[in-house]
Structures are given as C-alpha cells and as structure tokens.
Amino acid sequence: MTEEAFDVVVVGSCMTDLVSQAPRLPKAGETIHGHKFFIGFGGKGANQCIQAARMGAKTAMVCKVGKDFFGENYIQNFKDNGVSTEFVGQTVDSATGAASIIVNDAGENAIVIVAGANLLLGGEDLRRALPALSHAKVMVCQLEISPDTSLQALRLSHENNVKTIFNPAPAIPDLDPEFYRASDVFCCNESEAELLTGVAVASIEDAGRAGEELLRRGCSSVIITLGSRGCVVLSAQEPSSPSHHVPTKPVTTVDTTGAGDSFIGALAFYMAHFPTMSLEEMARRANQVAGVSVQTIGTQASYPSKKDLPTDLF
C-alpha cells in the first residue's frame, strides 16, 4: 500500500451507463431505431469519489467490477482521474454494474439497472482495504452496494476515528438504526429524507423538521440537499437551533443528473482538507461546486476540477 494516508476513501458502486436516445420508448417485443448512443461513467460511489479527486483530494475507491470490458474501462477512468485503484476488485462471477437507459425525444426515460459485481463487494474486500480505510481522513458510502457492506465500512471507520459521510441512496425503508449512529454527516436529498422520516418535504421548514428527526435517530450532523434551493444543515451539537438553511446562487440549469453526488464529493474534500471549517461553510462551498455541475450535460462529465473553480473555494 502507498505510505501516505488517503484524504477520502469511498466504499461504493460503479455503474456503466449505456444510453440510447430514440424518438420514443419501444413497446414490449418491439425493435426501434434510435438516433444516438453513448457510454457514461456512473454509480453514486464512483461519482462522489471522482468529484473529490477532481477537487484535489487524494482518493481511493473500494469497489467491485466484473472481469470484462466495462470493468477494465472503469478502472482506466479512475486512473485518468487520479483515483487509486489498489482496492478495486475484479470478479468473474458477475458483470460490471450497468444501467441501460433509453431516453425519448420528450426527455422521458426507461431504465434497467443491474447492480451485478457491486453486490459482491463484501467484508473480505473491506478487510483487504483496512490499511487505507483505517487511516483515511474521510470515508464515504451509500446504498448502491449491499447495505451490510456499507454498515461494516461505517463501523470500521468509526472504530478507527475516521470521519464518515453516509449517503442513504437509493433510500430503503426500515434502515438499520446503526446507520444513523455511525454517520458523522448523514447527507441525503429531499425524497430520501421523506422516505426515511415520513415527513413530507416540500419546503425548507419541512426539510428542517425531517432533519431534526434524523438527528433524533443518532446522526451527529445532517445535510438535506434541496436542488436549486441549496440545502439545510443540522448539528446535534446545537440542539436549541439545529436547522440552518444554506442557499445557493441561481445558475442556468442544463442537466441536474448527479448533482447530489457532486455535492457529496465536494463535501468529502472539504472535510478532509479543512477539518476545522464549519459544516455550514463546507455546505455553502459544496453548493457552488454542485451548481457548476448542473450547467453542463452529463454526470461525471459535468464535474468541475480545481482549475475550473474560483480560488476562494479552496
């Protein structure tokens, strides 16, 4: 293993997006001609890791891909972005995670996700990555891999005093209560907050109420992202006035796919590089980074690098 500790270790998913654009979505049994096809790199874990790396964090990804073309391609994508692939496993037992996406001319889509190799990431892989996991400044995980593996990663990080960001996405009902207690920052979007807490989140005040419920469940801090309205930040250390709205600047929005992952990747960078900065200030800056990502098409393709961002964000 490399001698120097990683700033950010992400335990999570990689997905290859296979995107076909067609005039309409095909019916069952039908073959139609589309007008454009492209392959994109996705998966929440990989997206967050790549955004942190582009900001300048020393990053490692702990994940599993297939021993196939898409797996090889994904490993090269990590290398191209300066992410350590020392803990990227390849398996012959399953294919690299893939999302087959059809988008029609009205912008509607039909998507089939096959998580594949992502679901084979397990305890043995975490043990192999322990030297990196136990010395990282920040560990980030989500729910696109087996929830058990994410929980183990959170536990290991906690035991080693590594700061954790947990992104409960895609949200599952009846989340194991230990997820809340093991999260230093529990970061989700409006719909995930709603599904987890049962509080309908339509306004900033609603988000504050949902956040308070998440704090009650044991999180140290909570961030709920609110699209163009920025986010709310809550901390268990401020029980009297726990909820703060952090607005963001209006931008010309082109494609918001992956904005939440850009936000979390940037947040991980700030937590690793500025450990004494307030969470509100980190969220204000992460809003601006994610705000850049919505101004161009694509997921990882739209994520800014340090050189694309104002110097006062560093």
Q: Which of 102, 164, 167 is nearest to 139 (CA)?
A: 164
Q: Is 261 designated active site? A: yes
Scanning 45-53, 95-103, 135-143, 290-298 for contacts with ligand ADP by CB under 6 A, the matching segment is 290-298
Scanning 149-157, 237-245, 250-258, 299-307 for contacts with ligand ADP by CB under 6 A, the matching segment is 250-258
CA distance 163 to 137: 6
Alpha helices (runs of H) in the chain, residue ranges in sequence order: 44-55, 69-80, 123-128, 130-135, 147-159, 178-181, 190-197, 204-216, 259-273, 279-293
> Could you tell me the smallest distance in angstroms from the CB atom of residue 206 to ligand ADP?
14
User: Contact 225/187 with Cβ under 8 angstroms?
Assistant: yes
- Here the tokens at position 239 are 């029980």
231 is an interface residue for ligand ADP by CB under 6 A: yes
Scanning 30-38, 119-127, 208-216, 221-229 for contacts with ligand ADP by CB under 6 A, the matching segment is 221-229
CA distance 134 to 91: 24
User: Per-residue x/- mask for ligand ADP, residues 115 to 144, rule CB under 6 A?
Assistant: ------------------------------
> Could you tell me the smallest distance in angstroms from the CB atom of residue 282 to ligand ADP?
12
Query: Vertex 82, ends 78 and 87: CA angle to 5°?
Result: 55
259 is an interface residue for ligand ADP by CB under 6 A: yes
> Could you tell me the smallest distance in angstroms from the CB atom of residue 126 to ligand ADP?
25
292 is an interface residue for ligand ADP by CB under 6 A: no
> Could you tell me the smallest distance in angstroms from the CB atom of residue 287 to ligand ADP?
4
> Which one among 18, 256, 280, 301 touches ligand ADP, defined by CB under 6 A?
256
> Which residue type sits at 101?
I
263 is an interface residue for ligand ADP by CB under 6 A: yes
Scanning 88-96, 143-151, 209-217, 258-266 for contacts with ligand ADP by CB under 6 A, the matching segment is 258-266
| Residue 184 vs residues 7, 122, 235: alpha-carbon distances, Å | 16, 22, 10
In the bound state, the residue with its beta carbon closest to ligand ADP is 260
Edge-to-edge order in the sheet of strand 221-225: 88-91, 59-66, 8-11, 138-141, 163-166, 185-189, 221-225, 231-235, 243-246
Question: Which residues are part of the catalytic machinery?
Answer: 261
- Which residues contact ligand ADP by CB under 6 A? 189, 225-228, 230-231, 248, 251, 253, 256, 259-260, 263, 287, 290-291, 294
